Amino acid sequence: MTAITLVRGDITEQHVDAIVNAANSSLLGGGGVDGAIHRRGGPEILADCRRLRASHYGKGLPTGRAVATTAGRLHARFVIHTVGPVWQADEDRSALLASCYRESLRVAAESGAVSVAFPAISTGIFGWPMDDGARIAVRTVHEAAVAPVADVRFVLFDDAAYQAFERALAAAP
């Protein structure tokens, strides 16, 4: 049974086995949570990302997929980078957003992670509406979390995000 908890704060300060990064497909860093993870985690994470790009993802990590690297100086064993979809009002891309959570959990479980911290993927620069993003996140973690993952923490950067996740958790079956 996986416990889901909500934390209001900065994901780079979490002490967990795996921190999930809302990356972009280049894996070379960006703004938002991605920038914060690379700044706090130090250059080892980027070095690992560059190696992954060279060996597997020359064309970029596809949307909805996830890969693990070192966590550098973060208080975690590894960072799982996943590429969320950009919100598009005229196209339902929610399966891709669900895939980010599912694939990240799969990679976490394969790596033996017990505790995993997620940001609200796609809800920043990629423009996904927060309530919908929260619903997809909570539903997918309920459906897809498998042992040894036992503690999934959503780390929400502001009150609006925290409240959206509270509503999503309250509404979940």
Catalytic residue numbers?
Answer: 34
Give the 3-state secondary structure of residue 155: strand
Our finding on whether 36 is near ligand ADP (CB under 6 A) is yes
Are the beta carbons of 16 and 153 closer than 8 angstroms?
Answer: yes
Residue 103: name the closest of 135, 78, 80, 124 by CA: 80
Size of the site for ligand ADP (CB under 6 A): 20
Residue 67: name the closest of 78, 54, 59 by CA: 78
Our finding on whether 84 is near ligand ADP (CB under 6 A) is yes
**Residue 123: count of CB within 10 angstroms of its CB:** 27
Are the beta carbons of 162 and 14 closer than 8 angstroms?
Answer: no
Among 8-16, 61-69, 105-113, 164-172, the segment contacting ligand ADP (CB under 6 A): 8-16
Among 4-12, 46-54, 69-77, 107-115, the segment contacting ligand ADP (CB under 6 A): 4-12
The residue among 109 and 137 lying less far from ligand ADP, judged by its C-beta, is: 137
The residue among 127 and 148 lying less far from ligand ADP, judged by its C-beta, is: 127
Residues in touch with ligand ADP (CB under 6 A): 10-12, 22, 32-34, 36, 84, 119-126, 155, 157, 161
